[in-house]
Amino acid sequence: MRGIEECLWQMRDEQYKEFHRKLIPNIKEDTIIGVRTPALRTYAKELLREAKGDPACAQRIEQFKKELPHHYYEENNLHGLLIEGMKDFASCMEALEEFLPYIDNWATCDLISPKVLISQPEALLQKIEEWMASDHTYTIRFGMEILMRHFLDDRFEKVYLDWVAEKRSDEYYVNMMIAWFFATALAKQYEATLPYLENRVLDTWTHNKTIQKAVESYRITPEQKTCLRKLKVKR
């Protein structure tokens, strides 16, 4: 079995590296190999499929996941995708707890969304609250994103808006996530979410960014966009 790092380098796309590094400016350029996400997803699926019938492959994956912190950006993304493919809730949670503190950029954070998490929604909500109470930027962001993905539709409760609205941070990537969360909430739960903007519950920057992202969304009606534009706070 070839080494994981060797396989990643064989998938390298130099042009993609040059494009993608501009999207994650806080990551050192020499830690980016330049592997496209679809290729990385395919590779993760191949590893997980091979691991089912090959104990050596399964052991290599487990060893790779213990090699923290990873050096390369794509190693982090692969790690996240391997977690995403897990089928057992408890094992997935354990793997996330081990990995989240090492996430150092928004792209890796937003890539991970294990389907197994929603198999136990009550336990997941408890964990989301813990993640959002963290002092680590991307653990907070991850918690908010999972809340956004799974609890703004049939499982929606107004208190989830309060959880996010009450979060105050100086971190750009946390505040961007708050804006993304509320813009999505406006698209899915408009009547429940609108008062948070009418009453200016969010800080000014996040408030205006929420409106910007909502107005850019095709899921917001023209009438709603007109209303939202009137709520923008002038500095």
User: 195-207 pLDDT, tens per residue?
Assistant: 999 999 999 999 9
Q: Give pLDDT, residue 188.
A: 97
Q: Give pLDDT, residue 2.
A: 60
- The residue type found at 2 is R
Structure tokens at 110: 């937003």
User: What average pLDDT score do residues 69-85 get?
Assistant: 96
Kindly list the domain boundaries of the chain, sorted by start residue.
1-105, 120-229
User: 18-61 pLDDT, tens per residue?
Assistant: 988 899 999 999 999 999 999 999 999 999 999 898 898 899 99
User: 3-20 pLDDT, tens per residue?
Assistant: 899 999 999 999 999 988
Please tell me the pTM assigned to this model.
0.94
User: 123-150 pLDDT, tens per residue?
Assistant: 999 999 999 999 999 999 999 999 999 9
HSE (side-chain half, CA atoms, 13 Å) at 185: 31
How long is the chain? Answer: 235
Q: Across the chain, what does the average pLDDT equal? A: 95
Quick check: 1 pLDDT over 70?
A: no
What is the C-alpha separation between 86 and 179, in angstroms, rounded? 30
CATH class of 120-229: mainly alpha
What is the C-alpha separation between 33 and 231, in angstroms, rounded? 43
User: What average pLDDT score do residues 155-166 get?
Assistant: 98
pLDDT band at 106 (very low <50, low <70, confident <90, very high): very high
Instruction: Outline where the chain has alpha helix (H).
Output: 4-10, 14-20, 37-53, 55-66, 73-84, 89-99, 106-111, 121-132, 137-150, 159-165, 172-188, 190-198, 204-215, 222-230
Structure tokens at 18: 């040059």
Nearest to 78 by CA among 164, 4, 173: 4
* Direct distance between the N- and C-terminal alpha carbons of the chain, in angstroms, rounded to an integer: 59
pLDDT band at 151 (very low <50, low <70, confident <90, very high): very high
Q: Give pLDDT, residue 145.
A: 98
What is the C-alpha separation between 160 and 178, in angstroms, rounded? 12
What is the C-alpha separation between 108 and 103, in angstroms, rounded? 7
Pair 189, 157: CB distance under 8 Å: no
Quick check: 97 pLDDT over 90?
A: yes
